[in-house]
Amino acid sequence: MSLLRHSLVLSILFASPAAAQNLDSLLGRMTLEEKLGQLNLLSAGGRASPAQMQLAREGKLGGLFNVIGAENTTPVQRIAVTESRLKIPLLFGLDVIHGYRTIFPIPLAEAGSFDPDAAQATARAAGLEAAAAGISWTYAPMVDIARDPRWGRIAEGSGEDPYLGSLMAAARVKGFQETIFATAKHFAGYGAAEAGREYNTTEITERTMREIYLPPFKAAVDAGVASLMSAFNDIAGVPSSGNAWLTGTVLRREWGFNGFVVSDWTSVAELIQHGVAAGPSEAGRRALTSGVDMDMQSSIYVDSLPALVRANRIPMAVVDSAVMRVLRAKMRLGLFRDPYRARTTPPVAETRALARRVARESIVLLKNDRNVLPLGRNTPTIAVIGPLADSKVDPLGPWHTLGQPEDVVTVLQGIRSHASATQVLYARGAGIDDSSTAGFAEAVAAAKRASVAVLVLGEREDMSGEAASRSMLGLPGVQEQLLEAVVATGTPVVLVLMNGHPLILEWAADHVPAIAETWFLGVEAGNAIADVLFGDANPSGKLPVTIPRSLGQIPLYYNHRNTGRPFEANNKFTSKYLDVPVTPRYPFGFGLSYTTFAYSNLKLSTARARTSDTVTATVTVANTGSREGTEVVQLYVHDEVASVARPVRELKGFQRVTLKSGESRAVDIRVGVRDLAFYGLDMKRVVEPGTFRVYAGPSSAEGQEARFEVIR
């Protein structure tokens, strides 16, 4: 934590007029090329190339990313701070998404823990490991809201809800920024890609932008995030990497953000492909004047903009502001004083223990008929089946930085070490996306010999993440047939899912008695899953996304509007499908436990509240089952009548509560009436008087109800 203290001291120093003057005078000594050099960010292939070292020497480089290890950051930093004319240190960026070497659950999984403290802890641990390797800046957290499970990057975010997404965003920013800089990305609306197709165009109204897509960015800014990354997508024809409304009006003027904005990988050059710039100079001018300070990987600022500035086509003041934002960030991080940064040694054992705890918390139990789970310790024979059962790569997830397969505990290993008295039979059954069923016979034979079969099925790690959209969301390859063949043996089946996209698995939901959604849980996946399978841990995760019944329902999210003809079973002319129910298979916020919880007696602290008030909802939650468990008590609100139709429910609070068997507790959740505001007809934030319905329950589809009125 010495680094934290160190950087805090520097931000105080920086706040002093002397430090600001130093930067002013530094700017005054810079040539135009050196200024634009500070805005130039390039990717290295593990270490800086000779050409990149030369750029550093010439002052034409602001930072590098993908330089791996302090042994590689140090030499090029030495060039920057000893051989360049002005000795300005470089930033070292890296995509430290959910761990550096110790890989934690993917962000989507972690969001299901509904535990922002856990997210802060894993970000802190990842930052510590990265800082020890010379990294000063991560391109995380990804805070894009995603309502479309086809979009591969849904795995990297916190799911569909802006409230949960905002808490997770702030927590991760705080965690990372104890040691390194964070980047909230991708600003903005990237998750709204049409048809879930990666990089696709978006159509987002200003209201939806402000109410759904922007809140997690605002939360990151309020948490002090150092940088934002502009997105690849266009919004109704205006690309995010050249969008003065987003990066100027909203981000800087309305929110007062004083950090810097970096483009995404070549997204400045891509303004040409979008069709809003005829060539590199125009693309660079559009991006820089819109508020994108740093150019990642296009080299356009440094190559093409000097001529435009000299021709007065870009005001020097615009360049200077961008440069100052980057220099201030370097100052705030402490790079001028300690360009190689304090060396820390991350605590290995604690980090592994944290990975296991958070992995356990992230698991969502979707189904558990006849209490198939937890498995008894003295189960005589368990068949462990499936292409992911002994995979050491896939649990690392789609973006695992320096995560190593040898660090991963597989499900098979986890089960073996938990059940030493049990005979564990293993059969792979099939590959993840093979078409061959040759391995089925062995799998079926193993299942027949066992008292229970654990099938570990799902996606390969590279089937989600960037550039990994899917148009079908079933199990790839022949896995579904494998599942059916094993279920047909009559041996009780536990389906353990590993996946980055939410999957649509109707057959399994109908026919498999127990299903656990584990996403990709990182290095401790196997231990955490075995902890849950054997009941050493009682599952408490909840879905951070809606699971549809069919592809045709997409987009399907819990906080939709009511429509003028909401679904009615007996009325044909209401909003529905002929061939599938309107409801999801599993709603947002859903997740079972090995115990049961009963909700009763929802009371509000007041029947009438003013905008400045806080309403406390108190609901009694009882553990009515036979073992201790943790419940995520969720509070939703619905504004019944407003000038603009409001969502049927909006999450406004939650609390994780641990109760012993038989214990009950009155749980208080406080909601500020101001937080019920929406964007009115005039696009100003407003809380309108009128009644609000409040729901407290175990998911977005259930709960106790109460009402209160907002008065003037």
Q: Give the residue numbers marked as catalytic.
A: 264
Distance between CA atoms of residues 32 and 307, nearest Å: 10
Closest approach of Cβ 235 to ligand BGC, in Å?
16
Region of 69 (left: φ > 0; alpha: ψ -120 to 50; beta: rest) is: left
Q: Which is nearer to ligand BGC, 150 or 185 (CB)?
A: 185
Contact between residue 341 and residue 134 where contact means Cβ atoms under 8 Å apart: yes
- 139 touches ligand BGC (CB under 6 A): yes
- Residue with tokens 């189960």, as numbered in its chain: 379
Q: Which is nearer to ligand BGC, 461 or 466 (CB)?
A: 466
Closest approach of Cβ 290 to ligand BGC, in Å?
18
**Secondary structure string (H, E, C) spanning 59-99:** CCCCEEEEECCHHHHHHHHHHHHHHCCCCCCCEEEECCCCC
Distance between CA atoms of residues 570 and 415, nearest Å: 49
Task: Please report, for the chain, how many H helices and E strands are present, in that order.
Answer: 21, 26
Show the site string, 458-487: x = touches ligand BGC by CB under 6 A, - = not: --------x---------------------
Helix axes 116-132, 348-362, angle to 10 degrees: 150
Residue number with the smallest Cβ distance to ligand BGC: 139
Closest approach of Cβ 294 to ligand BGC, in Å?
12
Q: Which is nearer to ligand BGC, 251 or 331 (CB)?
A: 251
Closest approach of Cβ 117 to ligand BGC, in Å?
25
- Rule CB under 6 A: which of 341-400 touch ligand BGC? none
Q: How far apart are the first and last CA of the chain?
A: 48
Could you tell me which residues come within 8 angstroms of residue 106 by beta carbon, excluding any fewer than 6 positions away? 97, 98, 155, 156, 397, 398, 399, 500, 519, 520, 521, 522
> Hey, which residues does 282 pair with through a beta bridge?
none
- 542 touches ligand BGC (CB under 6 A): no
Distance between CA atoms of residues 302 and 299, nearest Å: 6
Distance between CA atoms of residues 591 and 680, nearest Å: 34
Residue 249, SS3? Answer: helix
- Rule CB under 6 A: which of 54-113 touch ligand BGC? 95
- Rule CB under 6 A: which of 167-206 touch ligand BGC? 185
Q: Which is nearer to ligand BGC, 114 or 213 (CB)?
A: 213
Q: Which is nearer to ligand BGC, 38 or 227 (CB)?
A: 227
C-alpha separations of 586 from 159, 390, 503, 511, 547 in Å: 14, 28, 11, 15, 5
Concatenating the DSSP letter of every residue in 646-666 gives PPS-EEEEEEEEEE-TT-EEE
Residue count, binding to ligand BGC (CB under 6 A): 6
**Number of other CB atoms surrounding residue 474 within 10 Å:** 15
Q: Which amino acid is at 151?
A: W
Among 265, 340, 567, 679, interactor with ligand BGC by CB under 6 A? 265
Residues that bind ligand BGC (CB under 6 A): 95, 139, 185, 264-265, 466
